[in-house]
Chains A and B, each alone.
Chain A
Amino acid sequence: MKSKNSPLGKKVFPVLLSLALVGFLGSAREASAQAKLKVGILHIGSIADAGYNQAHAEGVQVMKKNLPEVEVIEVENVPEGADAERVMENMIKQGAKLIIPASFGYLEPALRVAKKYPEVKFVHPGGYRLAPNLGTYWASTPEAFYLMGIAAGKTTKTNKMGYVVALPISFFLANINAFQIGAQSVNPRAETRVVFTGTFLDPGKEATAANALLDQGVDVVGVIVDSPITVVQTAEKRGAYSIGYHFLGVQKFAPKGWISGIAFTWGELYTRFAKQVMDGTWKSEALLGNLGGDFLTIAPFGPAVPAEAVKMIQEKKPDLINGKLHPFQGPLKDNKGAERVKAGEVWPMTNLGKMDWLVQGVIGQAR
């Protein structure tokens, strides 16, 4: 999930940036006139970031392959705010009937444009609001992080794992908690250190953060920022293991130390959206996928992961999907010692937005 916080400048100087980038990059990708459906997609960053944006962009590529009659208008580096509105309206003027504003922070602009153009459909990732012509979609990630925890807990030699995370927002805290709980289920001595960088994109700081974790003896490093490249590469260079996020193709940046990764594979979902809009069956709804669906995927495991762990993950995955196994099964204490979930109870997945604590075994501060 993407926060409203974007790198310094995107917030401060949106207008000039859009003049410099949007106009230039956007003009090259205009669609022609005979398409059966035109789909417009806006990206907050570059579609080659091996991360958040590339995952969405690959989804669109798969949709185009599945449905050759669909044309796509794709614009990168669109600042959140008034610029996003202008880009969306421009797409609609070019004939787009389905808009994918692919960043959390596009929600408000998308709602405003959606109100103005009721005949155009919008699908927004990770949002919490619906409109008659705006639906929302995301996938529940803690189950996947739980499985990553099992893989990491079985692979680590120092029993110390670390995560470089953009911001301490509840959905990210839930992911870290699930990771630690999964690791602890197979390795009682496992601990997870977490470092927040305060921004979604600052490779210099991400490298320094990863090094700080490695200095503390951490030998598995995971990452929740827009582009996992820097952190994963830094871990690989220092001989540590790494866990990817967002995009399926992160492995090439750390072939030796690769454990696995959690990736969003939006292609089939985007294909369904496009078909529904074409045959008029699309309706506004809040879709929340899980590991059983086709848009949240566990990346292939690397050579360092023991076969036993892979087998265990394959066994537990169906249990997590059908609810027999819950990542946040009580009793759970936070890392300050306070009881958060009673024995026999679970922290409901519908309540992730209120998770403002880190579980026992995580070394870090939630606030």
Chain B
Amino acid sequence: MIESFFAGLIVGSIHSGTPLLYATLGEAVEERAGIVNLGLEGVMLIGAVSAFITTVQTGSAFWGVMAAAAAGALFNLLFGFLVISRRANQLACGLAMMFFGVGLSALLGAPYIGSRIVGLNEIRLPFLSDLPLVGSVVFHYDILVYLAVPVALLTWGALFFTRWGLSLRAVGENPLAAFAAGKNPHRIQYQALIIAGILGGIAGAHLSIGLAKTWAEWMTAGRGFIAVALVIFSKWHPLRAILGALLFGGAIALQLQMQARGLPVSPFLLDMLPYLLSIGVLAVWGGSRRQAAPGSLGRVFQGTE
């Protein structure tokens, strides 16, 4: 029973953490390029609803994920048009895009509520799934779970070990200097937004066709905002984002597992657990290291006129 508790906890953490990780990685890329996107919740919802509708229509979860990525990218391009081309305020636009995403996804998804899908299949790994004790419980996930950490590594590699990543970070720190060095800040920011939209859309897809296999209005239930917070928590670093997403997903899974196991702790207290944990970690970590926020985060690059 103890093994089942821990195995369940691991599985639950990974399931709850996966959408958070994709969303956090996307937001980290945007913010590294100097753009705060509070509309992430909307991007995830658009991704979730696109994935669900496409899966219902085509019967294929693969096309569901593709649709979610494309829809997320498109949605973020609209945000990009506002904050990059029109130079509008990022925070206000982000919130507006969030509400737009909530409303639009509810409208698009309404005819599909209650539709039944198979969704993403669980894949058993040939060797790992046969490991004694934990193997059979721990190693059967859908493809998006297996890809989450590789995507984080890829994001890390792209940001820190390529010229493109260097330019992107330069734009986030000081767009004028990047411009002087011959980079096009606006183009790089658009690229960052497309990547973030793809990742945010996939995060939503995992929720709707991976985890719950249901569509419901506002089914992200605040996960987009948690991801924005996780970016700060992970100090804009893709590898620390893995830790943050697992920790937060783990806190959600832990409270549910503890209840199912019947531990004598108040459900109200358990409901606060993920947030208490965040406060605790921030309190310990908070000011102990230098701030890692990109220098021009949230500022509008006005061009050179």
The finding on whether chains A and B are genuine partners in a shared complex, rather than unrelated, reads yes
B208, B259, B262 — which one has the most chain A CB atoms within 10 A of its CB? Answer: B259
Tell me which residues from 246 to 280 in chain A have a Cβ below 8 Å from any Cβ of chain B: 252-253
Stretch at the interface among B3-11, B71-79, B80-88, B290-298: B3-11
Nearest CB of chain B from residue A219's CB, rounded to whole Å: 13
**Do A364 and B262 contact each other (CB < 8 Å), given the known contacts A7-B218, A16-B99, A20-B103?**
yes
Other-chain contact of B15, A162, A195, A208 (Cβ < 8 Å): A208
Do B253 and A195 have beta carbons less than 8 Å apart?
A: no
Q: Does A187 contact B (CB under 8 A)?
A: no
Do B253 and A208 have beta carbons less than 8 Å apart?
A: yes
Q: Binary interface profile of A, 8-28, with partner B (CB < 8 Å = 1, else 0)?
A: 111001001100110011000
**Across the interface, which residues of B come within 8 angstroms of A252, CB to CB?**
116
Q: Does A367 contact B (CB under 8 A)?
A: yes
**Do A229 and B114 contact each other (CB < 8 Å), given the known contacts A204-B212, A212-B259, A217-B4?**
yes
**Across the interface, which residues of A come within 8 angstroms of B253, CB to CB?**
208, 212
**Across the interface, which residues of A come within 8 angstroms of B207, CB to CB?**
203-204
Interface secondary structure of B, over-half rule = helix
Q: Does A216 contact B (CB under 8 A)?
A: yes
Nearest CB of chain B from residue A161's CB, rounded to whole Å: 12
Tell me which residues from 12 to 46 in chain A have a Cβ below 8 Å from any Cβ of chain B: 13, 16-17, 20-21, 24-25, 45-46
Tell me which residues from 345 to 367 in chain A have a Cβ below 8 Å from any Cβ of chain B: 363-365, 367
Q: Does A207 contact B (CB under 8 A)?
A: yes
Stretch at the interface among B23-31, B154-162, B266-274: B266-274
**Across the interface, which residues of B come within 8 angstroms of A305, CB to CB?**
none
A-B contact count (CB 8 A): 160
Do A215 and B113 have beta carbons less than 8 Å apart?
A: no
Q: Does A289 contact B (CB under 8 A)?
A: no
Do B259 and A194 have beta carbons less than 8 Å apart?
A: yes
Nearest CB of chain B from residue A282's CB, rounded to whole Å: 33
Q: Does B12 contact A (CB under 8 A)?
A: yes
A: interface residue count bin? 35 or more
Nearest CB of chain B from residue A198's CB, rounded to whole Å: 4
Do A17 and B214 have beta carbons less than 8 Å apart?
A: no
**Across the interface, which residues of B come within 8 angstroms of A208, CB to CB?**
12, 15-16, 211, 252-253, 256
Inter-chain CA distance A208–B8, complex, in Å, is 10
Do B99 and A49 have beta carbons less than 8 Å apart?
A: no
**Across the interface, which residues of B come within 8 angstroms of A49, CB to CB?**
113-114, 216
Other-chain contact of A195, B102, B111, B218, B260 (Cβ < 8 Å): B260
Do B216 and A201 have beta carbons less than 8 Å apart?
A: yes
B: interface residue count bin? 35 or more
Q: Does A126 contact B (CB under 8 A)?
A: no
Tell me which residues from 46 to 84 in chain A have a Cβ below 8 Å from any Cβ of chain B: 46, 48-50, 54, 76-77
Tell me which residues from 78 to 116 in chain B have a Cβ below 8 Å from any Cβ of chain A: 99-100, 102-104, 106-107, 110-111, 113-114, 116
**Across the interface, which residues of A come within 8 angstroms of B222, CB to CB?**
8-9
Inter-chain CA distance A37–B15, complex, in Å, is 50
Q: Binary interface profile of B, 247-270, with partner A (CB < 8 Å = 1, else 0)?
A: 000001100110111101111100
B116, B214, B253 — which one has the most chain A CB atoms within 10 A of its CB? Answer: B214
Q: Does A143 contact B (CB under 8 A)?
A: no
**Across the interface, which residues of B come within 8 angstroms of A190, CB to CB?**
none
Inter-chain CA distance A193–B207, complex, in Å, is 25
Q: Does A230 contact B (CB under 8 A)?
A: yes
Do B214 and A202 have beta carbons less than 8 Å apart?
A: no
Inter-chain CA distance A321–B271, complex, in Å, is 38
**Across the interface, which residues of B come within 8 angstroms of A17, CB to CB?**
99, 102-103
Other-chain contact of A48, B4, B100, B114 (Cβ < 8 Å): B114
Q: Does B219 contact A (CB under 8 A)?
A: yes
Q: Does B201 contact A (CB under 8 A)?
A: no
Other-chain contact of B212, A54, A203, A212, A213 (Cβ < 8 Å): A203
**Across the interface, which residues of B come within 8 angstroms of A205, CB to CB?**
16, 221, 252, 256
Inter-chain CA distance A48–B261, complex, in Å, is 33
Q: Does B213 contact A (CB under 8 A)?
A: yes
**Across the interface, which residues of B come within 8 angstroms of A46, CB to CB?**
106, 110, 113, 216-217
Do B219 and A213 have beta carbons less than 8 Å apart?
A: no
Nearest CB of chain A from residue B240's CB, rounded to whole Å: 23
Inter-chain CA distance A58–B172, complex, in Å, is 54
Do A365 and B99 have beta carbons less than 8 Å apart?
A: no
Do A227 and B216 have beta carbons less than 8 Å apart?
A: yes
Q: Does B32 contact A (CB under 8 A)?
A: no
Inter-chain CA distance A54–B114, complex, in Å, is 10
Tell me which residues from 180 to 202 in chain A have a Cβ below 8 Å from any Cβ of chain B: 193-199, 201-202
- 7 A-B pairs whose Cβ atoms sit less than 8 Å apart in the complex: A8-B221, A20-B100, A20-B103, A204-B220, A207-B213, A212-B260, A230-B214
Residues of chain B touching chain A, judged by Cβ–Cβ distance below 8 Å, are 1, 4-5, 7-8, 11-12, 15-16, 19, 99-100, 102-104, 106-107, 110-111, 113-114, 116, 137, 207-208, 211-214, 216-223, 252-253, 256-257, 259-262, 264-268, 271
**Contacts A20-B107, A213-B260 given; 10 further ones with Cβ under 8 A?**
A24-B103, A45-B217, A48-B113, A201-B219, A203-B211, A204-B16, A204-B212, A215-B257, A218-B260, A233-B116
Closest 9 CB pairs of A and B: A20-B103, A215-B8, A203-B212, A363-B262, A48-B113, A212-B260, A196-B267, A198-B271, A195-B259
